[in-house]
């Protein structure tokens, strides 16, 4: 039996009511998570104040290890941001309508993980108060940033991506904000009135809206690919063994999609539970997301293995030595955990029984993201510990300050996300309406065909199928 | 204005290192380090600490690898050959090799293009300059240096490194760097500056041997030779020529084993300005 | 001096609204053209908009213009910044390095393309207007509204037409 993505008989009024209710009374687990996130953030703020006042040395960074968990987390969070917008845009263009109940929170995830990622280059700077020197502004001293530096490309790419994905999220939300406006009271009504920009659902608005949304989706797909390629060039543009790898851009993009999809599954399970969205975030949609994640996991696995193979058969002795050191050196337990969680665990997604069991999917998705975090760390740290000059080989483990800030970044992300889902509709109401409308229409047309065929064949069918309105 | 500037100088602005680049070099400061003469005494490193206001970080931070020595003497130990031999000479060769390692002032430096704010750039003197005031501490340059010769101010050292009255020993010709700034060997740029100013006042060219870097000055065996490679008569240019080491290549083509000159990691095409003369070993290790 | 009215009819279903619109299109009521009709709906529905006739959207042109501006401005901006900042020759690289400028120009293309699209959407789709008295919250829930401005003679035939198509509610307001 083919399971439906959504029950197409849901009334439109019920969709409105359910989603609007989600903004009012979540389960208690929501508030528990909320306060845990605040506590996590407090850890990071304390650590950052200490680091800011004392100097970067408190992170245990040293001469060969100039970068560590901050940059790994930066890449991790940027990667996480890829799935939401990219998948939403791709699935929009190919008319895969099962994206509709889940794309809103996925896009919010994109925006917030970008906002989290953006902190890390700042936290990691030695003199963060001069950060604005990276921006290309006209200065009276005639000084410009160095446009050759991949870090400047990062600044360009991330600001473009952040604004584009925020706009994409916002534009897609305007019709829903109008619904909220019509149903809210108090401060919420004022907020939604401003944000819905006077949306009344006229044909002119819808026509322009459709075109704008499509154009934005078309911009976002190449943009998202380019952003993570540029992040990968932070490494690939250098000459360090293990960083100077030609296959890094696709490898990073695949890794980004992978961790993003895993994060979508995590948040899917959480939101489904918190807001009682069982009717919208259905098991069938979870299955589709899981299958997609599995496919991406296999792409990532392939690119990972191809990177090892090209290093192994290549002539770069530094890189080969580094690869061996990764596998048997002091960081080897991280390396093997990453490979196990990234290449073996995703096979759980291929089992239907696991895909349909929410707690299992929650654990699996967390393991996948653990693997992706380790992957980023394995890219950053071992290269620095073992580069060209053997005199400067060193093993370094991050200090508690780094751990606290990285830990807190999850709190910050969680906080933003939880506030978002409480203030804004986390399921797109108008698009779920479209989804059920079109599906109802399709099913009715199919049924009509079946009936009419029967009518011809048996001459005993009775009339047209019921064409019920909204 | 700048558009006109681009149109007029387009081909000039598009020239890479292979065609000589955009610079017209006034000097190309370089070094020749004779490893045969190096005895690993660390006098060069000490002189550097004194000359360049390098912070003394203390035992625990040194152990963490946060030291600030612009010039480090790297020690490598070969496997001793004498263990199997029955005859023990009076002074057994333990195979210690010393390598004074400072910024190689690469002409195609990998640290330069990755700096987001152009805090490190190439001067018309052929030096790889670091502008402390411009540095924002992204530390990418250090990560991209194959020699790992860039040192980061992980802490503010002024109080701890030069407590009163030690602050009186600071060299007034250059700054004390605060936390969050990258620094590295400058070939004693303050001495270069002074010598150039003096020569300009006297309306003459800078002469070879007129000044030298702190490390070369302190070296008891004269292993470090510093000078201008563009000046044909300078000692350093002669040494480079004698050992057939060329700039601007990534592999020195020479057959004669007597020519001991080599540059470290030149196969990475970074084009360093420091030439090392290989050690002559009697034990044939 | 005849009065003008703005009439809004609400339908529970796209099929009924569609029927009413095609009747208007086929000039069942003299003097009313389909071009005067405005439709308000809770979902995006391209099929029903076909009956409204050809109404063009100008956003793609502006997007193209914005993206082109991004490319041209981006390259000139970068190149002139580099040519006026001659301290930059670094690492043996040219003053104006094309490969890295291409990367940045690519980002500028998208940056300007996205923002022009957004602003053209804001200005071309009739946002930022006060909701009229006829605005019904039911449109954002599940009903479809058809809005027409008519004069006094057309008013009653139009209302009858709407009623024929089982409209749930008809509102009108006088305009001058």
The domain spanning residue A187 has which CATH number?
A: 1.20.1630.10
Q: Is residue A35 part of a domain?
A: yes
Tokens at residue B36, please?
């045969």
DSSP code string of B127-157? -EEE-GGG-----HHHHT-TT---EE--S--
- Looking at the complex, report in whole angstroms how far the Cα of residue C1 sits from the nearest Cα belonging to chain A: 30
Distance CA A436, CA A5 (A): 10
Q: Is residue A457 part of a domain?
A: no
Is the backbone peptide bond immediately before A201 cis, with ω within 30 degrees of 0? Answer: no
Q: Is residue B20 part of a domain?
A: no
Same domain, C91 and C138: no
- Looking at the complex, report in whole angstroms how far the Cα of residue A121 sits from the nearest Cα belonging to chain C: 19
First-to-last C-alpha distance (Å) of chain A: 27
B250 and chain C in contact, CB less than 8 A: no
Task: Give, in order, the Cα–Cα distances in Å from B146 to each of A312, A385, B63.
Answer: 21, 12, 21
Identify the pLDDT of residue A406.
93
Question: For an interface test with A, which of C12, C141, C148 has the most A Cβ atoms less than 10 Å from its Cβ?
Answer: C141
- Out of C13, C40, C111, the one facing A469 most closely (by C-beta) is C13
More confident residue, C87 or B39: B39
Identify the pLDDT of residue A470.
37
Domain count along chain B: 1
Chain B residue numbers with beta carbons less than 8 Å from the beta carbon of A144 are 118
Mean pLDDT across B251-276: 88
Distance CA C79, CA C98 (A): 9
State whether C93 and B15 contact (CB < 8 Å): no
Identify the pLDDT of residue A352.
87
Same domain, C16 and C51: yes
**CATH code of the domain containing B152:** 3.30.70.20
**How many cross-chain Cβ pairs, A to B, lie less than 8 Å apart?**
144
- Quickly count: other Cβ atoms within 10 Å of residue A122's Cβ: 13
Helices assigned H by DSSP within A340-398: 352-355, 358-385
The residue range of the domain holding C83 is: 59-124
Give per-residue pLDDT as tens, B234-254.
999 999 999 888 888 888 888
Q: Strand B96-101 vs strand C38-40: parallel, antiparallel, or unpaired?
A: unpaired
Q: Is residue A462 part of a domain?
A: no
pLDDT tens string, chain C, 176 residues long: the values are 567 888 888 888 777 777 777 777 776 677 777 777 888 888 877 777 777 777 788 899 999 999 999 999 999 999 888 888 877 667 678 888 888 899 999 999 999 999 999 999 998 887 887 777 777 777 777 788 888 887 777 777 777 777 877 778 788 777 76
Q: Which regions of chain A are under pLDDT 50? A: 1, 455, 457-470
Residue B198 φ then ψ, to 5°: -65, -45
Domain count along chain C: 2
Tokens at residue A397, please?
């483990």
Residue among A449, A221, A269 at smallest CA distance from A365 = A269
Chain B residue numbers with beta carbons less than 8 Å from the beta carbon of C101 are none
Distance CA C28, CA C33 (A): 10
Is residue B285 predicted with pLDDT exceeding 70? no
Same domain, C40 and C11: yes
Chain B residue numbers with beta carbons less than 8 Å from the beta carbon of A238 are 110, 114, 140, 143-144
Question: For an interface test with A, which of B144, B147, B185, B276 has the most A Cβ atoms less than 10 Å from its Cβ?
Answer: B144
Residue among A356, A426, A428, A430 at smallest CA distance from A26 = A426
State whether A144 and C110 contact (CB < 8 Å): no
Domain count along chain A: 1
The residue range of the domain holding B45 is: 26-78+94-277
Chain A residue numbers with beta carbons less than 8 Å from the beta carbon of B148 are 63-64, 387-389, 391-392
The per-type count for chain C, helices as H runs and strands as E runs, is 6, 4
Distance CA B253, CA B259 (A): 11
Q: How confident is the model at residue B16 (pLDDT cuts 50, 70, 90)?
A: confident
Chain B residue numbers with beta carbons less than 8 Å from the beta carbon of C76 are 3
The answer to whether B66 touches A62, Cβ cutoff 8 Å, is yes
Q: How confident is the model at residue B43 (pLDDT cuts 50, 70, 90)?
A: very high
The residue range of the domain holding A372 is: 12-449
State whether C111 and A160 contact (CB < 8 Å): yes
- Looking at the complex, report in whole angstroms how far the Cα of residue B159 sits from the nearest Cα belonging to chain A: 13
Give per-residue pLDDT as tens, B59-107.
999 999 899 999 999 988 776 555 555 566 666 666 778 999 999 999 8
Q: Is residue B282 part of a domain?
A: no
Chain B residue numbers with beta carbons less than 8 Å from the beta carbon of C94 are 13-16, 21-22
- Looking at the complex, report in whole angstroms how far the Cα of residue B122 sits from the nearest Cα belonging to chain C: 6
Q: Residues of chain C whose C-beta is under 8 A from some C-beta in B?
A: 76, 79-96, 98
- Out of A147, A202, A223, the one facing C82 most closely (by C-beta) is A147
Distance CA C85, CA A148 (A): 13
Q: Is residue B62 part of a domain?
A: yes
Distance CA A25, CA A274 (A): 9
Mean pLDDT across B206-211: 89
**CATH code of the domain containing C155:** 3.30.70
- Quickly count: other Cβ atoms within 10 Å of residue B11's Cβ: 9
- Looking at the complex, report in whole angstroms how far the Cα of residue C98 sits from the nearest Cα belonging to chain B: 9
- Quickly count: other Cβ atoms within 10 Å of residue A345's Cβ: 18
Residue among B98, B111, B178 at smallest CA distance from B149 = B111
- Looking at the complex, report in whole angstroms how far the Cα of residue C90 sits from the nearest Cα belonging to chain A: 9
Chain A residue numbers with beta carbons less than 8 Å from the beta carbon of B181 are 126-127
Chain B residue numbers with beta carbons less than 8 Å from the beta carbon of C84 are 2, 5
Same domain, C135 and C49: yes
Which residue of B lies nearest to A156 if distances are taken between CA atoms? Answer: B116
Which is it for the CA torsion B262, B265, B270, B275, positive or negative? negative
Chains in contact with B, where contact requires at least 3 CB pairs less than 8 Å apart: A, C
Chain A residue numbers with beta carbons less than 8 Å from the beta carbon of C141 are 12-13, 16, 179, 182
Residue with tokens 């991004």: C70
State whether A208 and C124 contact (CB < 8 Å): yes
Give per-residue pLDDT as tens, A357-404.
889 999 999 999 999 999 999 999 999 998 898 888 989 899 999 999
Identify the pLDDT of residue B83.
56
Identify the pLDDT of residue B90.
64
**How many cross-chain Cβ pairs, B to C, lie less than 8 Å apart?**
68
């Amino acid at each position: 039996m083919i399971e439906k993505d959504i029950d197409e008989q849901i009334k439109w009024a019920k969709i409105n009511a359910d989603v609007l209710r989600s903004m009012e009374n979540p389960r208690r687990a929501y508030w528990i998570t909320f306060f845990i996130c605040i506590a996590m953030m407090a850890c990071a703020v304390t650590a950052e104040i200490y680091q800011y006042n004392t100097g970067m040395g408190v992170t245990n960074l040293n001469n060969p290890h100039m970068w560590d968990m901050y940059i790994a987390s930066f890449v991790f969070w940027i990667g996480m941001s890829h799935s939401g917008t990219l998948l939403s845009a791709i699935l929009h263009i190919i008319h895969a309508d099962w994206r509709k109940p889940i794309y809103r929170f996925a896009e919010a995830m994109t925006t917030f993980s970008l906002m989290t990622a953006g902190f890390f280059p700042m936290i990691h700077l030695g003199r963060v108060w001069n950060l604005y020197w990276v921006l290309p502004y006209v200065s009276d001293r005639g000084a410009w940033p160095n446009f050759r530096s991949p870090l400047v490309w990062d600044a360009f790419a991330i600001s473009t991506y952040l604004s584009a994905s925020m706009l994409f999220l916002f534009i897609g939300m305007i019709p829903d904000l109008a619904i909220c406006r019509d149903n809210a009271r108090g401060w919420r009504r004022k907020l939604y009135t401003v944000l819905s920009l006077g949306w009344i659902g006229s044909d002119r608005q819808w026509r322009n809206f459709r075109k704008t949304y499509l154009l934005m989706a078309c911009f976002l797909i190449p943009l998202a690919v380019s952003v993570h390629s540029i992040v990968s060039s932070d490494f690939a543009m250098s000459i360090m063994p293990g960083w100077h790898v030609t296959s890094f851009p696709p490898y990073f993009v695949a890794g980004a999609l992978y961790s993003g999809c895993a994060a979508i599954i995590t948040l899917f399970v959480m939101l489904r539970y918190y807001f009682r969205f069982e009717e919208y975030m259905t098991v069938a949609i979870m299955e589709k997301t899981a299958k997609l994640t599995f496919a991406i996991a296999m792409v990532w696995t392939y690119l990972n293995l191809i990177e090892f193979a090209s290093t192994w058969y290549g002539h770069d002795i530094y890189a080969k030595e580094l690869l061996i050191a990764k596998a048997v050196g002091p960081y080897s337990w991280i390396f093997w955990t990453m490979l196990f969680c990234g290449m073996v665990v995703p096979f759980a997604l291929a089992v239907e029984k696991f895909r349909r069991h929410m707690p299992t999917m929650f654990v699996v998705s967390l393991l996948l993201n653990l693997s992706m975090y380790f992957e980023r760390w394995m890219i950053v740290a071992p290269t620095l510990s073992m580069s060209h000059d053997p005199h400067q080989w060193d093993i370094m483990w991050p200090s508690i300050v780094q751990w606290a800030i990285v830990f807190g970044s999850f709190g910050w992300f969680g906080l933003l996300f939880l506030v978002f889902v409480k203030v804004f509709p986390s399921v797109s109401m108008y698009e779920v309406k479209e989804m059920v409308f079109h599906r109802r229409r399709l099913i009715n047309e199919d049924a009509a065909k079946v009936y009419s065929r029967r009518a011809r064949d048996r001459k005993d069918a009775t009339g047209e199928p019921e064409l019920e309105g909204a | 204005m700048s558009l006109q500037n681009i149109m007029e100088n387009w081909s000039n602005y598009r020239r890479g290192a292979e065609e000589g680049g955009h610079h017209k070099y006034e000097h190309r400061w370089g070094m020749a380090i004779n490893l045969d003469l190096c005895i690993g005494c660390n006098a060069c490193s000490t002189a550097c600490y004194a000359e360049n206001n390098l912070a003394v970080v203390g035992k625990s931070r040194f152990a963490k690898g946060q030291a600030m020595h612009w010039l480090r003497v790297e020690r490598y130990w070969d496997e001793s050959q004498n263990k199997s031999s029955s005859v023990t000479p009076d002074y057994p060769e333990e195979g210690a090799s010393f390598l004074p390692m400072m910024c190689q002032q690469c002409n195609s430096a990998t640290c330069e293009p990755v700096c987001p704010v152009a805090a490190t750039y190439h001067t018309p003197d052929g030096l790889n300059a670091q502008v402390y005031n411009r540095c924002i501490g992204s530390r990418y340059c250090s990560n991209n240096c194959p020699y790992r010769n860039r040192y980061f101010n992980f802490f503010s050292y002024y109080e701890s490194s030069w407590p009163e009255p030690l602050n009186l020993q600071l060299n007034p010709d250059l700054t004390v760097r605060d936390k969050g700034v990258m620094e590295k060997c400058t070939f004693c740029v303050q001495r270069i500056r002074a010598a150039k100013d003096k020569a300009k006042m006297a309306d003459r060219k800078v002469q070879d041997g007129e000044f030298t870097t702190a490390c070369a000055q302190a070296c008891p065996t004269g292993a470090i030779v510093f000078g201008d490679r563009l000046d044909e008569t300078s000692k350093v240019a002669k040494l480079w020529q004698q050992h057939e080491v060329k700039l601007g290549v990534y592999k020195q083509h020479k057959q004669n084993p007597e020519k001991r000159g080599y540059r470290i990691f030149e196969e990475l095409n970074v084009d360093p300005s420091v030439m090392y003369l290989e050690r002559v070993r009697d034990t044939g290790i | 001096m005849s009065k003008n009215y703005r009439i809004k009819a609400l339908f529970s279903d796209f099929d009924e609204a569609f029927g009413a619109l095609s009747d208007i299109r086929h000039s069942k009521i003299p003097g009313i053209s389909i071009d005067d009709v405005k439709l308000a709906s809770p979902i995006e529905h391209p099929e029903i908009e076909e009956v409204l006739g050809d109404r063009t959207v100008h956003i793609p042109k502006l997007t193209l213009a914005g993206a082109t501006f991004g490319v041209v401005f981006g390259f000139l901006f970068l190149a002139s910044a580099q040519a006026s900042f001659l301290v930059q020759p670094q690492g043996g690289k040219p003053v104006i390095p094309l490969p890295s400028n291409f990367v940045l120009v690519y980002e500028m293309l998208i940056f300007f393309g996205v923002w022009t699209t957004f602003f053209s959407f804001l200005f071309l789709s009739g946002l930022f207007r006060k909701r009229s008295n006829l605005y019904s919250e039911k449109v954002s829930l599940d009903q479809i509204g058809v809005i027409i401005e008519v004069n006094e003679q057309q008013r009653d035939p139009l209302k009858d037409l709407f009623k024929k198509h089982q409209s749930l509610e008809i509102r009108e307001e006088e305009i001058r």
